[in-house]
Amino acid sequence: MEIDKFIKDFAEALELTAWSHLKPDSVFRDAVEGWDSLSALIIITMIKSEYDVAIKANEFIECKTLSELFDKVESLKNVE
């Protein structure tokens, strides 16, 4: 999986129309206007449906940037 596709999937899951500012080093909670717990659930669900990876809430919370989230998904993908 490529990080660019992951960022695109992230943006589409949140229905972001303007997401070109999202980069691998973006702190996604700050970069997404209106980020809240529902946004987190949407992304956790997207990760499960698109990448067949079940990320736990505490694992998700540990991630700050899109790159960290991507790396976590990749590592969990290799474990399952």
pTM value is 0.92
Domain boundaries, the chain: 3-79
pLDDT digit string (tens) for 10-33?
Answer: 999 999 988 899 999 999 999 999
Distance CA 58, CA 4 (A): 24
Question: Residue 10's pLDDT is what?
Answer: 97
CATH class held by domain 3-79: mainly alpha
For residues 67 and 80, give the distance between their C-alpha atoms in angstroms, rounded to a whole number.
20
Q: By the 8 A CB rule, do 74 and 1 touch?
A: yes
Summarize pLDDT for 51-65 with one digit per residue, the tens.
Answer: 999 999 999 999 999
